[in-house]
Amino acid sequence: MTNRWWVYQKERFPIFAHGPLVIVFCLAVLLFSALQGVDSTVPSITQIAGAVISALIMFFQLRVADEFKDFEIDTRYRPHRPVPRGLVSLPELARLAYIGAAIQFAIAISIDVGLVPILFGVWLYAGLMTKEFFVPEWLQRRPAIYLVSHMLIMPLIAFYVSAFEWLCDCSSMPNGLGWLLALAFSCGLVLELGRKINIPEKERTGVESYSALWGTGVAIALWVLSVIAAVASYSMAASYLPLSADHLQLAETVLLLGIIAVILFPHKKRKIVKGKNIIEPSSGLVALLLYLGLGPLQLLLG
């Protein structure tokens, strides 16, 4: 019999899908600081592993928080999901999240105690998100504010990951850090909007989507604006690195990818091959390319 936790991760937190993006995200954030140094010293394997493991746990904890927030809606409209159908329980998920927190704390203590206050800050904001900032009904009536408030966790995680480099090496924060955090926020918007834009025939009652909420045209327009914001943030952040590759060419490629995704998206109800939504996979590719271009490719090509 297949292990139920293996089934859960496949359905709700696919590690082989999320893992590579998280690894590239962490490498980009760490190298953004490291490559600005005089000797461009690559962070140690301990720093990289600690940042990647901590970030992966953070994203899992956010998934657990969503399971708690969405339990009633899932039970009513999406009983096929793991928690409503009884594959795993909320208390079990909570225990795993707390075990993850203990691991994060142990990593922070072992690498640099200065990481602990930043980690607590990320936990605090994540906790407020779980409680919907204690104004759930107000936020539900204002989906744009809801979206922005929840995506602010991304630059907080990026700031924590970056501290594994500059804080642990007793150096100052890197120049252009604000643009790096803006990139994390913008890519978060791209990914979040992308996964909640449905092709018309895939809209379902009780399943929230921005295409159903705002209309397909508006939702896609906001996605495109998020892609543009991500590319602009990437370009500004990349200007602080001694790039050997042409980062403007990568930026243009990502913009072209966004345009192609919009053109191929079925705006009207019609049958398409396997009913695929090109926006969602394109969102992951946009984030992956921009993070690769910010640090990892520079290291490989430089």
Q: Would you say the C-alpha torsion 122, 124, 130, 132 has a positive or negative sign?
A: negative
How much is the pLDDT for 273?
A: 39
What's the CATH class of domain 1-174? mainly alpha
**93-110: pLDDT as tens digits:** 999 999 999 999 999 999
**What DSSP string describes 172-192?**
PPPTTHHHHHHHHHHHHHHHH
Helices assigned H by DSSP within 78-215: 90-111, 115-130, 136-140, 143-151, 153-166, 177-195, 210-214
- For position 192, what pLDDT does the model report? 94
* pLDDT score, position 272: 41
pTM of the predicted model as reported, rounded to 2 decimal places: 0.92
pLDDT value at residue 37? 65
Q: Pick out the chain residues at pLDDT < 50.
A: 1, 244, 270-275
Q: Which residues have CB under 8 Å from 77's CB, separation 6+? A: 204, 205, 206, 207
DSSP symbol at 85: T
pLDDT of residue 2: 65
